[in-house]
């Protein structure tokens, strides 16, 4: 499937990343999701890039870039001219011959912004079902404040990505990830009488709330904000939840203590950014559901990006290995 775009002086046609085939010319608008300036052994400048659209992301390399190309930043929309190939050593990549910033009339935002595969209406319905299932009145009211789309953080929560890359790195990704984590955690909590299900649901929905400030949500590709780099999403999320709790002077202190613990411990290990490890039943459940669902989403993304017929994906950062995909054909990938 080809999308038309207006590219003065070039073929007005672009091919989505997911549809690229080895040897195919690449011409059109893509989002530059990553850019690295480098020099070869002779000291000559070149660029390593990641190009993204609504269907996926591909590596690219640009030798002998112009000053205009060198001035491009991650997050910019660019017009690319080159060739896509699958190199035996370097894998799939675009050999870029021409690169420049795109003009607003040269692309459609809907072609470039990846969104959650789950519709926004369905996600909203599942979110409200989870909130309605919480019986403790203060926790339920806290979730209603946090997810209120007329204020922050709720307004950003429903559109924000869950990551810059690796999992749910697309519009509505944070909402999708948080809902899935809370649903999985609630199901597990129901199996254990000693677990506070309401606290698990609240922790599942709010564990990544700091990402509403840690990542940008208004561009074509997620980027870390200055505050996200300097403070980290866990610290920011803890501060946000503490502020939301403070809006209710009658919020139970024990529930506040346990909920804030879920936020700061959800990465599971100090080496992964949590200042403490999970030390309550509810925190253990949220941590493992967060980790499990993120890894599954990363495998899903890798399978979608793998060529038809491949039994194995490329290396997946979150599992530090490729994933076995099993027998697949072109019909399954469509």
pLDDT of the chain, 334 residues: tens digit per residue: 333 333 344 434 688 998 888 889 999 999 998 999 999 888 889 999 999 898 888 999 999 999 999 999 988 999 999 999 988 777 889 999 999 999 988 988 878 888 888 988 999 999 999 999 999 999 999 999 999 999 999 999 998 888 877 678 788 999 999 999 999 999 999 999 999 999 999 999 999 999 999 988 776 778 889 999 999 999 999 999 999 999 999 999 999 999 999 999 999 998 888 999 999 999 999 999 999 999 998 898 888 878 778 899 989 988 999 999 998 765 444 4
User: Which letter does DSSP use for residue 102 in this model?
Assistant: P
Residue 1, judged by CB atoms within 10 A of its CB (0-12, 13-18, 19+), counts as exposed
Q: Are 102 and 199 contained in the same domain?
A: no
Quick count: other Cβ atoms within 10 Å of Cβ 142?
A: 25
Q: Are 209 and 84 contained in the same domain?
A: no
Question: Structural domain tally of the chain?
Answer: 2
Q: Are 242 and 207 contained in the same domain?
A: yes
Summarised one tens digit per residue, pLDDT across range 296-319 is 988 988 888 787 788 999 899 889
- C-alpha distances in angstroms, 245 versus 138, 146, 205, 236, 251? 9, 10, 15, 14, 7
Q: Are 106 and 129 contained in the same domain?
A: no
Strands (E), 69-216: 77-87, 91-101
Q: Are 167 and 77 contained in the same domain?
A: no
Tell me the CATH number at 142: 1.10.3210
Tell me the CATH number at 92: 2.40.50.140
Q: Are 147 and 60 contained in the same domain?
A: no
Q: Are 81 and 98 contained in the same domain?
A: yes
Predicted confidence at residue 182, as pLDDT, reads 98
Q: Are 99 and 166 contained in the same domain?
A: no
Predicted confidence at residue 2, as pLDDT, reads 37
Residue 244 sits in which domain range?
A: 120-297
Q: Are 126 and 215 contained in the same domain?
A: yes
Beta-bridge partner residues of 78: 30, 101
pTM: 0.78
Last residue of a domain, one of 58, 82, 112: 112
């Amino acid at each position: 499937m080809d999308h038309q775009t207006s590219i003065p002086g070039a073929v007005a046609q672009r091919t989505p990343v997911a549809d690229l085939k080895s040897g195919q010319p690449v011409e059109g608008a893509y989002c530059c999701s990553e850019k690295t300036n480098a020099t070869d052994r002779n000291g000559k400048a070149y660029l390593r890039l990641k190009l993204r659209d609504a269907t996926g992301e591909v590596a690219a390399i640009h030798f002998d870039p112009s000053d205009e190309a060198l001035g491009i930043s991650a997050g910019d929309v660019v017009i690319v001219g080159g060739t896509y190939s699958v190199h035996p050593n370097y894998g799939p990549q675009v050999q870029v011959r021409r690169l420049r910033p795109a003009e607003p009339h040269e692309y459609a935002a809907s072609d470039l912004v990846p969104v959650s595969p789950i519709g926004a209406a369905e996600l909203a319905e599942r979110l409200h079902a989870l909130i309605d299932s919480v019986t403790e009145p203060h926790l339920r009211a806290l979730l209603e404040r946090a997810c209120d789309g007329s204020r922050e953080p709720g307004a950003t929560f429903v559109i924000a990505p869950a990551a810059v890359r690796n999992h749910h790195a697309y519009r509505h990704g944070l909402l999708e990830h948080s809902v899935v984590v809370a649903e999985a955690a609630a199901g597990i909590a129901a199996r254990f009488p000693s677990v506070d299900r309401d606290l698990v649901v609240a922790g599942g929905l709010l564990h990544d709330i700091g990402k509403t400030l840690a990542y940008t949500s208004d561009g074509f590709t997620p980027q870390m904000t200055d505050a996200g780099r300097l403070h980290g999403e866990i610290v920011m999320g803890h501060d946000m939840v503490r502020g939301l709790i403070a809006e209710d002077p009658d919020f139970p202190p024990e529930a506040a203590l346990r909920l804030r613990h879920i936020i700061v411990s959800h990465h599971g290990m100090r080496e992964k950014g949590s200042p403490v490890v999970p030390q309550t039943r509810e925190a253990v459940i949220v941590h493992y559901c967060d980790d499990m669902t993120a890894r599954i989403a990363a495998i899903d993304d890798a399978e979608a990006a793998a060529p038809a017929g491949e039994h194995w994906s490329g290396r997946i950062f979150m599992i530090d290995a490729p994933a076995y995909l099993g027998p697949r054909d072109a019909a399954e990938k469509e």
